[in-house]
Amino acid sequence: MLAEVNKSSSNTKLVLFLGANIGNFKFNEMPNFFNSLHNLLSEDDLVLIGFDLKKDPKKILAAYNDKAGFTAQFNLNLLHRINEELDANFRLNNFEHYATYDPETGACKSYLISTNDQTVQIKNTCIEFEKYEPVFMEISQKYSLLQFNEIAAKAGFQPLAHFFDKKKYFADVLLKRKKQS
Distance linking the first and last C-alpha atoms of the chain: 25
Average confidence score pLDDT of the chain: 92
Q: Structure pTM? A: 0.82
Q: In the chain, where are the structural domains located?
A: 2-54+144-177, 58-141
Please determine, for residue 180, whether its predicted confidence score (pLDDT) is greater than 70: no
Among 63, 48, 51, CA closest to 21? 51
Looking at the chain, list the stretches that DSSP marks H as alpha helix, in order from N- to C-terminal side.
2-8, 30-40, 57-64, 70-86, 145-154
Pairwise pLDDT comparison (25 vs 181), residue with the higher score: 25
* pLDDT tens digits for range 82-116: 999 999 999 999 999 999 999 999 999 999 999 99
Class of residue 48 by CB neighbours under 10 A (exposed 0-12, middle 13-18, buried 19+) = middle
Among 173, 179, 171, CA closest to 142? 171
CATH number of 2-54+144-177: 3.40.50.150
Are 23 and 52 in contact by the 8 Å Cβ rule? The answer is: yes
Amino acid, res. 175: L
